[in-house]
Structure 1
């Protein structure tokens, strides 16, 4: 059985040898700069490595320390899961809904609105806008509005109070979420074969929701999967907005995430073995979430 599969694979490789030759440079780059570093990180996670001495094998000690003794990591784990499970699905659905609505507009208006919605995800000074909005003094737009209308008597420390930090970061992340996934969904909607809708009308599809579920979404499975990967990655790998808006570290670690914990040990303390263990756990979480998402996406259109 194995020999037969091997012969079939060898036959297919001969038939597609030209395509394989063209794809070889990409696979080589992917292997060198992605696969090998990931494998090295997994191996280093079982060592003590401080960048000065040769890595020393310590087995599962890094992982045991993470889950048993590192209270800050547990806070970061909780914050990351809470952040991802709220912003991930909402941003994913929002990307598709905006793409679906914009796709129905005339081409020129569609191009303008696509640029307007996509712009925040590539702008470099977006944090300044939100920092001004949630400034802790009475000149901050949010405090000024609430004081003027009598909702509060004194300014709220939005970016210093632990109970406000994570919700604010979630709002900012949702505002920035119309990025690559949004563009992929628009491209997918543009490429759906229009004759499928005509065939669906003949087969009994009577409204737009049935068209969406039985035709549009199944025809967009590659884009849906790509968008899911992007949104899952951005939701679990949040760190930049926390560092720029809240500071590093945040008060009571209220905005601490797995990636900020990784940055702490990897780029500040240079405990690379411990940082590799954190990165491996994050990688495993992302992979597991992606596999679950794939199972859900396979049911689209059923």
Structure 2
């Protein structure tokens, strides 16, 4: 039997399912125009000197050499971003699943109410305002007031003006806001697990909830686990609004700077160094894709 090549197999699939491909065409067109093309353009512009007023001028690897050898702020932003990703990424992912797992044990309106409570901070427009009050640098800030009341401190701490406190506070706020789309995905995934699998598992010797979780629940939720991982990775690497709203841009000694805030600094405002900004964006994109691949390989082994 003659072996069919990949392109020939693709042509056969397209002919066989042409109606489905026709229905998907508008999405593919929009995805190509608004996602693929901008990414490719960003990579290309990253090798140029472009200020949006003149035509791009090719400079080769100059922007990347400048990033890693001359830009000390980028090195600090890269370090902060990696700390954010390593700490908030796994923690927020685990939190999303554990909270979803617990909430899924409730029924009907109680489950819906608890889901809303946990999901609300991620969509609240006043989230930063709440934390600004909590970590206010005077004695009227809730955190300072509580610490002074119990004699842990004797004068207010300027949380967002003291370099050593900025990053830990931002990490805490990021974790508080992390129960977003991934959390809802896990809730939905848990509700679609076939209940008969648990009965079959009990017959095969599964004795407790942890064994059910590892051998039945998690393998049944691999698509949701993959999607949740993508969302949490993107969220942990793309931190910017939290830092800007609470620590300012620039923050004290750039202690709250991230790759995205550095990108915004060069891609907008008064700089408009778009070639350099695109080089920063390319580095961020490569970090996200690389981390994504590692996490997906790890998740494929779940339940093995």
TM-score (norm 2): 0.98
Aligned residues: 302
In the alignment, what sits opposite 1:57? 58
Q: Return the offset for 1:56.
A: 0.3
Alignment of 1:122 onto 2:131: no
* SS of equivalent to 2:210: helix
Matches within 5 A, 1:193-232: 193-232=194-233
The one of 262, 272, 275 equivalent to 1:273 is 275
CA RMSD of aligned residues (A): 1.1
The one of 278, 289, 292 equivalent to 2:291 is 289
- CA, structure 1 residues 2+279, in 2 after alignment: closer, same or farther (shift >3 Å)? farther
- Greater Cα shift, 93-102 or 131-140: 131-140
Residues 157-177 of structure 1: CA distance to partner in whole angstroms, max 9, x if unpaired? Answer: 111101000110011111101
In the alignment, what sits opposite 2:99? 98
Deviating above 6 A after TM superposition, structure 1's stretches of 4 or more consecutive aligned residues are none
What is the rounded CA distance, in whole Å, between the counterparts of 2:6 and 2:164 in structure 1? 58
* SS of equivalent to 2:197: helix
Q: Return the offset for 1:3.
A: 6.1
What is the rounded CA distance, in whole Å, between the counterparts of 2:301 and 2:161 in structure 1? 44
In the alignment, what sits opposite 1:250? 251
In the alignment, what sits opposite 1:264? 265
Q: Return the offset for 1:239.
A: 0.3
TM-score (norm 1): 0.98
Q: Return the offset for 1:9.
A: 2.0
Residues 202-228 of structure 1: CA distance to partner in whole angstroms, max 9, x if unpaired? Answer: 211111111101110011001000000
Alignment of 1:137 onto 2:138: yes
Matches within 5 A, 1:4-15: 4-15=5-16
Alignment of 1:192 onto 2:193: yes
Alignment of 1:175 onto 2:176: yes
Q: Which residues of structure 1 form unaligned runs of 5+?
A: none
Q: Which residues of structure 2 form unaligned runs of 5+?
A: none
Q: Return the offset for 1:2.
A: 8.3
What is the rounded CA distance, in whole Å, between the counterparts of 2:18 and 2:155 in structure 1? 71
What is the rounded CA distance, in whole Å, between the counterparts of 1:180 and 1:224 in structure 2? 12
- Greater Cα shift, 135-144 or 33-42: 135-144
- CA, structure 1 residues 48+2, in 2 after alignment: closer, same or farther (shift >3 Å)? farther
Q: Return the offset for 1:92.
A: 0.3
In the alignment, what sits opposite 2:303? 301
